């Protein structure tokens, strides 16, 4: 039986980085679209680093990636994360409406990006340092499954065994998330590890969702503290640290419910 093994904490600001360093949380996700990701280097307490390509962030403001695929691969080569997401084109309705796109168009663009990045990986021998994560895009379950078939036809999955599910983080209904995650898990071969990008932690309370995913992430844990303490760096870090502690306890509670252990059972940390 498969089950979740890793929960990544996303960091998007200097105060969040400081809080995570002080706490020592070891599973970190950096968003390539944020300034902090390009300024800082991985720190010693990180055990597993995941780089997100920042698709939604780019498209929300610009409608396209503003750096080349080559620049992204050079960044990956410098940081040498354990995992990194291949670039994708999000399918949230607000994004599609704003830039006059369709789900199919963004799926096709995602395929093109994946193929180009995989070729660049071969050219620069990135496989030696980091494992790529393919990203399925869509809005309905059928969309995601069609995208899987599309990318499979073009050989994307010939060497990839880690697959992310995009366009989940702004879903309002847990039942919709549940249907998509469990439906993809049922349809894809068991060899694939599944990552849920920005899955609501309330959806992880469902055992079938928890068991369908190998990993998930969240960057929303400190949003209110960033807003409340935006004028004072000192209070901002303290607020983020307390928010992080509370959030990790919530994740631990979910892991205990499903597995009778914490997400960090193999890691000693101070409550």
Query: Is residue 268 very low, low, confident or very high in pLDDT (cuts 50, 70, 90)?
Result: very low
Vertex 47: Cα angle to 67 and 268 (nearest 5): 145
Pairing of strands 83-85, 131-136: parallel
Is 154:115 a contact under the CB 8 Å cutoff?
yes
For residues 112-134, average pLDDT = 96
Alpha-carbon Rg of the chain, whole angstroms?
A: 18
Domains and CATH numbers, the chain: 6-259 (3.20.20.105)
User: How far apart are alpha carbons 120 and 99 in whole angstroms?
Assistant: 28
The pLDDT value recorded for residue 253 is 92
Is the pLDDT at 238 greater than 90, yes or no?
no
Query: Is residue 228 very low, low, confident or very high in pLDDT (cuts 50, 70, 90)?
Result: low
Neighbour-count burial for 49-83, b at 16+ CB within 10 Å, e otherwise: bbbbbbbbbbbbeeeebeeebeebbebbbebebbb
> Looking at 54-63, 133-142, 260-269, which range is the least confident one?
260-269
* Dihedral sign (CA 138, 144, 147, 151): positive
């Amino acid at each position: 039986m498969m089950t979740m093994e890793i929960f990544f904490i996303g960091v998007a600001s200097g105060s969040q980085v400081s809080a995570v360093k002080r706490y020592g949380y070891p599973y970190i996700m950096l968003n390539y679209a944020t300034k902090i990701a390009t300024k800082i280097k991985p720190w010693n307490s990180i055990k597993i680093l995941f780089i997100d390509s920042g698709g939604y962030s780019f498209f929300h403001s610009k409608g396209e990636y503003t750096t080349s695929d080559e620049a992204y691969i050079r960044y990956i080569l410098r940081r040498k994360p354990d995992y990194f997401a291949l670039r994708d084109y999000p399918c949230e309705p607000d994004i599609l409406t704003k830039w006059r796109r369709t789900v199919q168009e963004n799926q096709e663009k995602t395929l093109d990006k994946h193929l180009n990045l995989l070729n660049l990986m071969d050219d620069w021998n990135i496989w030696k340092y980091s494992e790529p994560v393919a990203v399925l895009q869509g809005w309905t379950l059928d969309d995601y499954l069609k995208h899987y078939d599309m990318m499979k036809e073009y050989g994307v999955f010939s060497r990839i065994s880690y697959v992310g599910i995009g366009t989940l983080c702004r879903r309002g209904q847990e039942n919709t998330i549940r249907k998509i995650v469990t439906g993809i898990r049922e349809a894809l071969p068991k060899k694939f590890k599944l990552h849920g990008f920005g899955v609501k932690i309330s959806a992880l309370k469902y055992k079938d969702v928890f068991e369908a995913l190998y990993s998930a992430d969240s960057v929303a844990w400190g949003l209110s503290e960033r807003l409340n303490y935006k004028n004072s760096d000192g209070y901002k870090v303290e607020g983020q640290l307390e928010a992080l502690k509370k959030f990790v306890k919530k994740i631990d509670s979910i892991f205990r419910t499903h597995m009778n252990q914490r997400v960090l059972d193999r890691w000693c940390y101070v409550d």
